[in-house]
Amino acid sequence: MRRLRRALVAASTLLLVSGALLPASARATELFGGLGTTGVELGVAERVGGAAGLRMSAEFLKVGRNFESDGATYDTKLKFSSLGLYGDYFVAGGGFRLSAGAVIGTRKATGNAVATNGTLSINGSSYPAAGESVGAEAKFPSAAPYIGIGYGHHQPSKGSGFYLDLGVVIGKAKTTLSPSAGIVAAAGQANVDAEQRKLQDSVDKLKAYPVLKFGFSFAF
């Protein structure tokens, strides 16, 4: 949270300074909000003259799913709480743009499996595990680069508009496996470590998180 607050202050200062230094005819401010794979987005954009623009947005996502399978209950969650800092380059003077920046904050996926009357699988073998559990977490880097393309935030005039973003946040997640003591005793630490490596290998295949966002804006 301390890193997130520092980034927020720095980005706010950058937007304010750019607005103060440029003549009124060369700048426009926009408030925007939308939805996407990073969750709910609320932000501010500043056209800093010519073909360049700056954006800052807060992005929040919290989704979960509970289900049962093979005698076990599963609880999974995806939670993001981050700050996006972006620079835009508008192509040919229109709304189409190239974008780059960074996403700073917490982004993680968690899961927990509890065996009610069945078994749990560790390293390819199943173990009787009534009442036992296995937790897993995949945590993305707290700061990661973003690249993408999009439309909007060009503020050609005062009033409402819309925007669309398509890109990726680059960075692989680090995983943690947390089995209960009974599972460790039944399967053995070597099998638990092997399952941890399998989980990390699976997550490593996802080298970037896809971003698709759309929403509405108001320039003034």
Q: Give the global pTM.
A: 0.79
- The amino acid present at 115, given as its one-letter code, is A
Average pLDDT over residues 3-27: 43
Closest of 24, 36, 145 to residue 85, by C-alpha: 145
Tokens 């706010």 -> residue: 12
Burial category of 155 from C-beta neighbours within 10 Å (exposed 0-12, middle 13-18, buried 19 and up): buried
86-115: string of b/e by CB count within 10 Å (b at 16+)?
A: bebebeeeebebebebbbbbebbbbbbbbb
The pLDDT value recorded for residue 158 is 85
Give yes or no for a contact between 123 and 195, defined as CB atoms under 8 angstroms apart. Answer: yes
Higher per-residue confidence, 1 vs 219: 219
Tens of pLDDT, residue by residue over 46-56, are: 988 778 999 99
**What is the rounded distance in angstroms from the CA atom of residue 213 to the CA atom of residue 117?**
42
**What is the rounded distance in angstroms from the CA atom of residue 179 to the CA atom of residue 21?**
56
Tens of pLDDT, residue by residue over 108-131, are: 999 999 987 778 888 888 888 888
Tens of pLDDT, residue by residue over 58-109, are: 999 999 998 887 677 889 999 999 999 999 999 987 899 999 999 999 999 9
Other CB atoms within 10 Å distance of the CB of residue 2: 6
The pLDDT value recorded for residue 27 is 55
Q: What is the phi/psi pair of residue 209, to 5°?
A: -100, 125
